[in-house]
Amino acid sequence: MKIFRLILLILHLGLLFLLTGVLLNAYIPPKIFPWFNLLSLGFPILIAGYVLLTFFWILSWKKRAFVFMFLGLFFLNPVKRWINYSSESNETANLKIVTFNIKGGTFGKEEIQEYINAQKADLVFIQEYGAGDLELENLTGKNTIPINSLYTNYKIVSRKNLFENLFNGDITAQCEQIDLEIKGKTYRVINVHLESFGVVKSMVKLNGNSGEDETKVKNVIKRLIPTFKSHQEQVQIIRESIDSSPYPVIVAGDFNSVPNSYEYYKTSEGLKDAFYEVGRGSGTSFHDYKYPLRIDYIFTSESIKPVSYQVDSSVHLSDHFPVIATFKID
């Protein structure tokens, strides 16, 4: 029994070490050490293992349980970025936003239009819009860049393709900066689609053959690491747009990055994560794999107050769930 507990203790310490590595994404970019970013993908498994082992020590009446419980407090905020149970806001919302990667409308463009129309949103951020514009009631949109489109009836002051000079040859990386006049005040909105990893289910589905499975894992990692490094460049451009903005900022879209990743930490600096502030339940927005992947976000300046946040998991019109949030603006 002592040997068994020693093995569990070593395992628990190992999980603590790996979880600490996830937190280092806030400080160490992928071009310096991409493996911390890789760990962020495994955060749900790592934290679940950590919690289970902590309960084991509690039930075993071991003093080390108190140490692991105390150290576990450092991971409360990272957990809230995946699963959250915020109390209801007392604010009255006057701005509604939908962000939705529609996968080119392959699940049914008319159904997507009907769903979005029913939301009666003020701003609709679309990623992977595919061929042809959506026909939305009371909203207009103009596609000036591939993949992304913004629909609104607010006055457009200016718009700019932020990734115009990004010469990585990957058209899946798209980002548009649009300055809008909303209720007599100018806001900068940024519609984001960071570079895709190009990973499909067949590439990550293991079949029990050790040789084939090892090859699959290596091939996936070969795709992940370079994309992490490309994301660093893309996020830096977005960051420059945020930092130079003379207006309050709304950043939304598909980041192809999970919470506690470098992309998340860097983009959210000085901004509010609407899910973290007012979200409830799971933030998982990409459902094509049977694994919790939250990769769609809405970040706002401090002056924009989140009121409600919903990942509508009842809707299967894409491999992403639509994200719907309301805000109070002055």
Contacts 24+ apart (CB under 8 A), 3-6: 5/60, 5/62
Is the pLDDT confidence value at 47 over 90?
yes
Residues 62 and 13 both lie in one domain? yes
* pLDDT band for position 218 (cuts 50, 70, 90): confident
Q: Which of 37, 56, 80 is at the close of a domain?
A: 80
Residues 112 and 8 both lie in one domain? no
* pLDDT band for position 307 (cuts 50, 70, 90): very high
Residue pair 96/324 in contact by the 8 Å Cβ criterion: yes
Q: If you average pLDDT over residues 136-162, what whole number do you get?
A: 89
* pLDDT band for position 288 (cuts 50, 70, 90): confident
Mean pLDDT, rounded, of the chain? 91
The reported pLDDT for the residue numbered 205 is 58
Domain holding 37, by residue range, is: 2-80
Is the pLDDT confidence value at 87 over 90?
no
Q: If you average pLDDT over residues 202-231, what whole number do you get?
A: 72
Residues 51 and 174 both lie in one domain? no
Is the pLDDT confidence value at 12 over 90?
yes
The reported pLDDT for the residue numbered 207 is 57
* pLDDT band for position 174 (cuts 50, 70, 90): very high
Q: Which residue has the higher pLDDT, 124 or 2?
A: 124
Q: If you average pLDDT over residues 207-219, what whole number do you get?
A: 63
Q: Which of 42, 57, 80 is at the close of a domain?
A: 80
The reported pLDDT for the residue numbered 86 is 86
Q: If you average pLDDT over residues 213-239, what whole number do you get?
A: 85
∠ CA 277-294-192, nearest 5°, is 85
CA gap 285, 312 in Å, rounded:
8
Residues 233 and 252 both lie in one domain? yes
> What Rg do the C-alpha atoms of the chain give, in angstroms?
21
Percent of the chain exceeding pLDDT 90 equals: 75
Residues 167 and 230 both lie in one domain? yes
Residues 133 and 54 both lie in one domain? no
Residue 233 has φ and ψ, to the nearest 5°, of -65, -45
Residues 199 and 304 both lie in one domain? yes
Residues 67 and 107 both lie in one domain? no
* pLDDT band for position 91 (cuts 50, 70, 90): confident
Residues 296 and 179 both lie in one domain? yes
Continuous segment of H or E residues that includes residue 49? helix 43-59
Please report, for the chain, how many H helices and E strands are present, in that order: 10, 14
The reported pLDDT for the residue numbered 56 is 94
* Count of the separate structural domains present in the chain: 2
Q: If you average pLDDT over residues 275-295, what whole number do you get?
A: 94
Percent of the chain exceeding pLDDT 70 equals: 92
* Whether pTM exceeds 0.95: no
Residues 69 and 129 both lie in one domain? no
CA gap 28, 58 in Å, rounded:
34
Residue pair 320/306 in contact by the 8 Å Cβ criterion: no
Three-class SS state of 149: strand
Residue pair 135/113 in contact by the 8 Å Cβ criterion: yes
Is the pLDDT confidence value at 260 over 80?
yes
We report the CATH number of the domain holding residue 219 as: 3.60.10.10
Of 180, 167, 212, nearest to 329 by C-alpha is 180
* pLDDT band for position 148 (cuts 50, 70, 90): very high
Distances (CA, A) of 128 to 116, 131, 149, 193, 232: 15, 9, 8, 8, 21
Report the Cα–Cα distance between both ends of the chain, in Å, rounded: 63
The reported pLDDT for the residue numbered 55 is 95
Which residue has 């115009």 as its token pair? 164
Residues 95 and 25 both lie in one domain? no
Q: Which of 80, 113, 140 is at the close of a domain?
A: 80
Q: Of the given ranges (9-18, 174-183, 192-201), which has the lowest mean pLDDT?
A: 192-201
CA gap 135, 156 in Å, rounded:
19
Is the pLDDT confidence value at 220 over 90?
no
The reported pLDDT for the residue numbered 329 is 95
Residues 316 and 218 both lie in one domain? yes
